[in-house]
C-alpha cells in the first residue's frame, strides 16, 4: 500500500472515529483533540500497519491507547497530594510519645493502681471484659444479669477515666 492510498483510507475512516472519541472523552473539544492525535500517530507510524489487516480496528486501537495514556497522565498529575500539612500533626502530641522506659513504667503503675482501687464488684467484670470475655459470658460466670454486667463495666470505665485524667490528651 502506498502512502497516498494509506492516507486516503485513513481520511475516509477518520469520520467514524469522532463519535467513538466523543464517547470516550464526553467533551467535544477533547474528542477533536483525540481524533487529531490518533490520526497524527497513524500517519507517523504507517510503516507499522500491515496491509490486508483491518485499518479501522488499527485506528481504534491507537485512539483507545492514546485516550488511556492521556487519562493516566492527567490522573497521576492531579493525584499528587501535598502531605506536608498532615505531617505537622503526626505524633506531635507529647502525651503519646514515650521518651524513656521510666515514664511508661509510671503510666503502667498508675493504671494498675487505678484498677486496684476499683471495688471488687466492678473490677472483676471489667477485667473479664478486658481480657476478652463477652457480656453474656461474664453474666453466666458471675451469675448476674447482663444489664448489671454492662452497668458495672460502664462504671469501672468512668472511674478509671476519672482516676487517669492526668493522661487524657487536651484535658
User: What total of structural domains would you count in the chain?
Assistant: 2
Residues 76 and 95 both lie in one domain: no
Which of 37, 61, 80 finishes a domain? Answer: 80
Q: What is the pTM of this model?
A: 0.46
Q: Which of 114, 99, 92 is nearest to 169 (CA)?
A: 92
Residue 148: which CATH number?
A: 1.10.10.10
Residue 25: which CATH number?
A: 1.10.1740.10
Residue 65 lies in domain = 1-80
**Are 36 and 11 a contacting pair, CB within 8 Å?**
no
Higher pLDDT: 73 or 128? It is 128
Reading phi first (left if > 0) and then psi (alpha if -120 to 50, else beta), residue 134 is in beta
Q: Which of 107, 118, 112 is nearest to 156 (CA)?
A: 118
State the average pLDDT for the chain.
Answer: 84
Q: Write out the E strands in the chain.
A: none
Residues 8 and 73 both lie in one domain: yes
Which of 53, 80, 107 finishes a domain? Answer: 80
pLDDT tens for 123-156 read: 999 999 988 889 999 999 999 999 999 999 999 9
Residues 12 and 49 both lie in one domain: yes
Q: With 90 as the cut, is the pLDDT of residue 110 above it?
A: no
Amino acid at each position: 500500500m502506498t502512502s497516498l492510498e494509506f492516507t486516503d483510507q485513513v481520511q475516509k475512516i477518520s469520520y467514524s472515529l469522532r463519535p467513538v472519541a466523543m464517547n470516550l472523552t464526553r467533551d467535544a473539544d477533547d474528542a477533536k483533540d483525540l481524533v487529531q492525535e490518533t490520526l497524527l500517530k497513524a500517519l507517523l507510524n504507517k510503516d507499522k500497519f500491515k496491509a490486508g489487516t483491518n485499518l479501522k480496528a488499527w485506528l481504534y486501537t491507537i485512539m483507545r491507547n492514546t485516550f488511556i495514556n492521556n487519562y493516566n497522565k492527567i490522573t497521576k498529575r492531579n493525584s499528587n497530594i501535598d502531605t506536608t500539612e498532615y505531617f505537622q500533626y503526626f505524633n506531635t502530641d507529647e502525651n503519646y510519645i514515650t521518651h524513656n522506659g521510666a515514664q511508661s513504667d509510671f503510666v503502667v503503675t498508675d493504671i494498675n493502681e487505678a484498677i486496684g482501687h476499683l471495688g471488687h464488684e466492678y473490677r472483676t467484670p471489667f477485667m473479664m471484659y478486658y481480657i476478652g470475655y463477652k457480656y453474656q459470658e461474664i453474666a453466666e460466670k458471675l451469675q448476674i444479669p447482663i444489664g448489671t454486667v454492662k452497668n458495672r463495666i460502664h462504671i469501672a470505665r468512668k472511674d478509671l477515666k476519672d482516676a487517669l485524667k492526668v493522661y487524657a490528651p487536651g484535658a
